[in-house]
């Protein structure tokens, strides 16, 4: 099974290393990326950390995501400055860089933490209709942070009208069967991950083990902000100060 992975988005928190570590654990994987490193947005971001991203040289890196950058990069003549439209336009641009010899096409944000497991990819590859498996997000039909498509699903996704509005988590993809099933959280900073799952125990432990390998050694200080809520922030307490 061959997997094509696209890492697309801003590195506002400069914590891309968990995603890159995940990609190295998946056999027969080819990766592409479109990364935005707006220095002004990064310096003003409250969640900046001491981790430095190591980007593969073949990733496309731009300062900003806007129509001028998109049109110059892709050669297209049509662009919409809407946030959701541009987000998926860049994802589609990244997917089109791959050949058709893959069974699974994976989209990830740069600032994700994902539980490493291969079973979802086998589930996606074995579907006989257009299929999208997304991250778990309790308050929406799907998650746009992380999703995997089979070959038929990619073809449907690439010809679908692009969403508009603030959040494509609520967009309806016509012709795609969408199922939630992957454990994923957003890394807000080295101390905090935000999840939209009822049970965060395993992913919190896994993230704590990853954080201990970073220059800022840390430990878990609490399991969840509100155990009765489906939306969790997992707080990691620093044991030494961060330095950029």
Give the pLDDT confidence score for residue 155 in this predicted structure: 96
Cβ atoms within 10 Å of 145's Cβ, excluding its own: 21
Give the pLDDT confidence score for residue 156 in this predicted structure: 97
**What CA–CA distance (Å, rounded) separates 180 from 183?**
9
Residues of the chain with pLDDT under 70: 12-16, 39-54, 118, 213-244
**What CA–CA distance (Å, rounded) separates 7 from 154?**
16
pTM of the full structure:
0.84
Phi-psi map region of 165: left, alpha, beta (phi>0 left; psi -120 to 50 alpha): left
Map out the domains of the chain as residue ranges: 3-111+139-177
User: What are the tens digits of pLDDT across the range 54-95?
Assistant: 678 899 989 889 999 999 999 999 999 999 999 999 999 999
């Amino acid at each position: 099974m061959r997997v094509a992975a696209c890492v697309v988005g801003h590195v506002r928190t400069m914590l891309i290393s968990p995603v890159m570590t995940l990609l190295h654990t998946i056999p027969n994987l080819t990766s592409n990326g479109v990364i935005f490193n707006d220095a002004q947005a990064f310096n003003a971001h409250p969640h900046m950390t001491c981790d430095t991203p190591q980007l593969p040289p073949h990733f496309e890196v731009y300062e900003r995501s806007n129509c001028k950058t998109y049109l110059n990069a892709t050669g297209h003549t049509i662009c919409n400055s809407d946030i959701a439209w541009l987000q998926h336009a860049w994802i589609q641009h990244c997917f089109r860089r791959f050949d058709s010899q893959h069974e699974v096409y994976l989209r990830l944000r740069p600032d994700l933490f994902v539980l490493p497991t291969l079973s979802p990819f086998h589930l996606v590859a074995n579907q006989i209709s257009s299929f999208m498996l997304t991250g778990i997000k309790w308050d929406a039909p799907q998650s746009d942070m992380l999703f995997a498509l089979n070959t038929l699903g990619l073809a449907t996704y690439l010809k679908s009208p692009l969403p508009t509005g603030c959040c494509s988590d609520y967009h309806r993809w016509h012709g795609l069967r969408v199922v939630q099933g992957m454990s994923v959280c957003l890394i807000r900073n080295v101390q905090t991950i935000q999840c939209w799952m009822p049970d965060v125990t395993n992913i919190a432990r896994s993230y704590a083990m990853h954080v201990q390998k970073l220059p800022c050694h840390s430990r878990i200080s609490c399991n969840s902000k509100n155990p009765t809520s489906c939306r969790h922030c997992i707080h990691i307490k620093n044991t030494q100060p961060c330095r950029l």
